[in-house]
Amino acid sequence: MAVEVKVAAFRDIFQYEAGRKGLYSNEYLQLSAQILMDKEDMANLGVKDGARVSAENEVGKVVLVARASGDKAHPGVAFMVESPWSHQLEDDEPCRHGALGFKGISTTVTPSQDNVTELSEIVQRLKE
């Protein structure tokens, strides 16, 4: 099973503060390595709140925790906090407005049994 979504990245003060305390902290991981999904998309994927999912596109892949959005229905659109995890799915090329494509990142989400991607793994990828 797979669901195609557009990911919109956003800033979050709680995640930011956790990062100031320590980027390798469990709190930062929990607040950053998640994807907020529409409940219908989660049902179509066969996952429940708190399940691990893989988010992948032509740029990269990360394993995240899926969280059910409490907002109005938004099938086909998911949200991620702007973080090293969301950046793994973003192209390095600026969009037509000159900024990186922090919004509208085309992504395929699938259920996963893998562990959530650790920041140390992302850092290693950046070194390669």
Identify the H or E element spanning 8: strand 3-10
Give residue 90's pLDDT.
Answer: 86
Mean pLDDT in residue range 61-83: 94
Is the pLDDT assigned to residue 15 strictly greater than 90? no
Tell me the C-alpha distance between 4 and 119, whole Å.
Answer: 25
Tell me the C-alpha distance between 66 and 64, whole Å.
Answer: 6
Look up residue 117 and give its DSSP letter: P
pTM confidence score: 0.89
- Residues 31, 17: contact at Cβ < 8 Å? no
Q: Give the other-Cβ count within 10 Å of 4's Cβ.
A: 11
Give residue-wise pLDDT tens across range 19-46: 889 999 999 999 999 999 999 999 999 9
- Residues 66, 51: contact at Cβ < 8 Å? yes
Is the pLDDT assigned to residue 17 strictly greater than 80? yes
Is the pLDDT assigned to residue 104 strictly greater than 90? no
- The phi, psi pair for 19, rounded to 5°, reads -65, -35
What's the Cα-to-Cα distance from 117 to each of 13, 61, 86, 110, 124, rounded to whole Å? Answer: 22, 9, 11, 15, 12
Give residue 100's pLDDT.
Answer: 52
- Residues 99, 81: contact at Cβ < 8 Å? no
Share of the chain above pLDDT 70, in %: 91
